[in-house]
Amino acid sequence: MTRFKRICANAALVVASLIVGIVLCEVGLRMLGFPSPSEFKTLRNGYAPQFYYASDPVNGHDISKNVSTDVFFIPDYVRAHGAPFTVSSNSLGCRDRSFDPQDGYVLLLGDSVTEGYVALAETWGTLLENLIGARVLKCGVSGYGPRHERHKLKAVTALAGRPRFVIVGHVWNDILDDYLYPGRTVIEGYMLNKVLPADPIQGGRLVHSDEDLRTRLENRLNPQFGPIGRAKLLLANYSILYDRVENSEALQRVASWLGFAVSSNRRSELEAFQSATDIPWLDQAWEEHLESLRQLRSAVEALEATMLVVIFPDRRQLYESLRPQKGNFDWEYPNQRLTEFLQREQIAYVDLLPEFRRYVGCTGRSMPRTPDDLFWVIDDHPNVKGNRLAGLLLGREVLEQSFLQFEDKRTRLTHINQLLDMEDRCRSMPSSQ
């Protein structure tokens, strides 16, 4: 065998071994239960019904008013429950049933965690309403922070009357939502990011024109692919291994350099867990965010109502395998900074992190895998179980702290505690699972 033939044979052997290795990895990932990208590709292209969100002159976007029932497609939900859930809205632009003007209701404000990425009956807001026996008007809107919520408060109460109690769901991307405010808009019924961080380190705001957004939307809805693009699309839709590589922080840079994956800035949602020393604009963003909370509290008090902030954990605070391997992250810092502020300002709050962390610790899992965990496997939002635990914990807090007065408070508290005992993973399963 000539030298050239030996080189060709060795090269063929290397390629064949590589192909076999890729196939084995693909089969192994499927046997482990990782979903095919085709199951959740809709998630990355937008999963709300067209026209469910509408442009808003103040906040940039809002839930459209009087939306009839339509499908909200979250592949995680479909895999767990067999079908997508539906969404609709009332005349107030809230994801809730109809509401006639009345004083003394409970108002929920927040972002997508409050809006709920589950069926309406499964949201923590609906569970809270059932547990405390008071009308809870559920007005969370995806992409909202405290600056948005202050204007939503004004718009809702102008039509619905004065609430006696306002509950604000808080998540850590609220800091970025305030910094980029108003960060989103709606074009042709699709919600789009209009304002983005200009630089992940130095900060600043990059504002896209509506014309640019229309072009991007057209390219997204009607993509044009060459041969390489079609091959990459095929892999992106059906190869779990390709998807894992494309979304791996460790491999993304190499894959992008080779032309097999598109690098992207996936860190914006994690800035709250980083030091202002590493990100110069972050401290200013924190201060502006806390000032937004002050102003929201003032707006609530002007209505002679009480405000309670509910701090939802990020799932990376609970599941270690989801944490990025690179970067200077402090997973306790944002809770400490926010709770210190709330205590100083005498704003009532409940931090769900300790109880969520205890629940996850009892399952012994380092990442969500089943509907019995608290977050979806692919999507970042709490699943049905996470919403249920949040609703129970919040219902207990509302009744124990006497935010509202009920004649049957003791009976309701007993019921909630019984349900929490049933949900207690430390009692129902061994920690080694």
196 Cβ neighbours under 8 A, 6+ residues apart: 180, 183, 205, 206, 208
Would you state the pLDDT for residue 427?
66
Q: Which residues pair with 382 in a beta bridge?
A: 375
| Percent of the chain surpassing pLDDT 90 | 62
133 Cβ neighbours under 8 A, 6+ residues apart: 406, 408, 412
Q: How far apart are CA 355 and CA 340, in angstroms?
A: 19
The CATH architecture that domain 46-200+269-428 belongs to is 3-Layer(aba) Sandwich (3.40)
- The mean pLDDT value of the chain amounts to 86
Q: How far apart are CA 62 and CA 173, in angstroms?
A: 17
pLDDT in tens, 59-90: 999 999 999 999 998 888 988 999 999 999 99
Residue 250 has pLDDT above 90, yes or no: no
Residue 354 has pLDDT above 70, yes or no: yes
pLDDT in tens, 362-405: 888 888 988 889 999 988 999 999 999 999 999 999 999 989 88
Residue 241 has pLDDT above 70, yes or no: no
pLDDT in tens, 179-214: 999 999 999 999 999 999 898 888 899 999 999 999
The domain locations on the chain are 46-200+269-428
Residue 420 has pLDDT above 70, yes or no: yes
Q: How far apart are CA 39 and CA 22, in angstroms?
A: 21
Would you state the pLDDT for residue 38?
53
Would you state the pLDDT for residue 202?
84
More confidently predicted of 203 and 432: 203
| Percent of the chain surpassing pLDDT 70 | 81
Q: How far apart are CA 393 and CA 416, in angstroms?
A: 8
C-beta separation of 169 from 109 below 8 A: yes
Residue 252 has pLDDT above 60, yes or no: no
More confidently predicted of 346 and 242: 346
Residue 44 has pLDDT above 50, yes or no: no
pLDDT in tens, 140-187: 999 999 999 999 999 999 999 999 999 999 999 999 999 999 999 999
Q: How far apart are CA 100 and CA 13, in angstroms?
A: 73
pLDDT band at 36 (very low <50, low <70, confident <90, very high): low
More confidently predicted of 227 and 285: 285
Query: What is the distance of C-alpha 282 from the center of its chain?
Result: 20
